[in-house]
């Protein structure tokens, strides 16, 4: 009695694996653009059919349930990385304006941290860091201290003093 069951189970597994392999192949080919999806009406991609037993088995009742597939955002076509990078880059004039704005902020303050400059300017941390590096290279601002105690000012003495005060404030 076990042999008809084993044969039927083997046939079911074999059919399932062939169908699965065919579906994966078709999906990959469509993804690569080699083969288009069939012209027939495709089932709703948000539902997945689950069969508990084959239709040919008289002893087991056939039942069909549907599960909701997880919601996924529709596929979008993105521009190549080089175009996205170039689109996000500021122009020379915008960069120069940002550097001047940060120079004014540092000049008006008495030893500011990167976070303080970031909040006052409204620029991102990377933009502020880039502008501070350019200003330091030009000799227009000075940095005192390191890491979290780094402070920026128009003179080296003011930057060192602000860093020292920040270090003392952290120790207290």
Give residues with Cβ within 8 angstroms of 169, minimum separation 6. none
How many Cα atoms within 13 Å fall on the side-chain side of residue 138?
A: 13
The answer to whether position 80 is within a domain reads no
Give residues with Cβ within 8 angstroms of 95, minimum separation 6. 131
Looking at residue 67, what is its pLDDT? 61
Looking at residue 58, what is its pLDDT? 52
Which CATH number belongs to the domain containing residue 159 in this structure? 1.10.10.10
The answer to whether position 29 is within a domain reads no
The answer to whether position 156 is within a domain reads yes
- Residue-number span of the structural domain to which 145 is assigned: 99-171
Mean pLDDT over the full length of the chain: 80
Percent of the chain surpassing pLDDT 70: 67
Cα(172)–Cα(145) distance, integer angstroms? 18
Tell me whether strands 64-68 and 47-51 are parallel, antiparallel or unpaired.
antiparallel
**53-102: per-residue pLDDT in tens?**
555 555 555 555 656 656 665 566 666 766 666 666 778 898 999 999 99
The answer to whether position 107 is within a domain reads yes
The answer to whether position 167 is within a domain reads yes
Residue 49: is its pLDDT beyond 60? no
Report how many domains make up the chain: 1
Residue 155: is its pLDDT beyond 90? yes
pLDDT band at 9 (very low <50, low <70, confident <90, very high): confident
Looking at residue 35, what is its pLDDT? 60
Q: Between 35 and 40, whose confidence is greater?
A: 35
**14-28: per-residue pLDDT in tens?**
888 889 988 888 888
The answer to whether position 79 is within a domain reads no
- Tell me the CA end-to-end span of the chain in Å, nearest whole number: 84
Residue 37: is its pLDDT beyond 60? no
The answer to whether position 142 is within a domain reads yes
Task: Enter the pTM of the model.
Answer: 0.50
Looking at residue 83, what is its pLDDT? 67
The answer to whether position 67 is within a domain reads no
């Amino acid at each position: 009695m076990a042999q008809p069951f084993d044969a039927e189970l083997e046939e079911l597994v074999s059919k399932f694996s062939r169908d699965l392999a065919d579906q994966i192949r078709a999906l990959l080919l469509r993804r690569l653009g080699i083969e288009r999806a069939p012209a027939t009406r495709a089932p709703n991609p948000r539902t997945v059919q689950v069969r508990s037993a084959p239709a040919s088995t008289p002893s087991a009742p056939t039942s069909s349930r549907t599960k909701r597939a997880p919601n996924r955002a529709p596929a979008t076509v993105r521009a190549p990385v080089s175009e996205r990078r170039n689109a996000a880059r500021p122009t020379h004039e915008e960069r120069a304006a940002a550097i001047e704005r940060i120079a004014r902020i540092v000049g008006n303050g008495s030893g500011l941290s990167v976070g303080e400059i970031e909040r006052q300017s409204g620029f991102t941390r990377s933009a502020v860091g880039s502008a501070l590096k350019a200003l330091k290279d030009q000799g227009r601002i000075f940095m005192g201290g390191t890491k979290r105690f780094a402070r920026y000012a128009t003179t080296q003495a003011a930057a060192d003093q602000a860093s020292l005060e920040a270090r003392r404030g952290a120790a207290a």
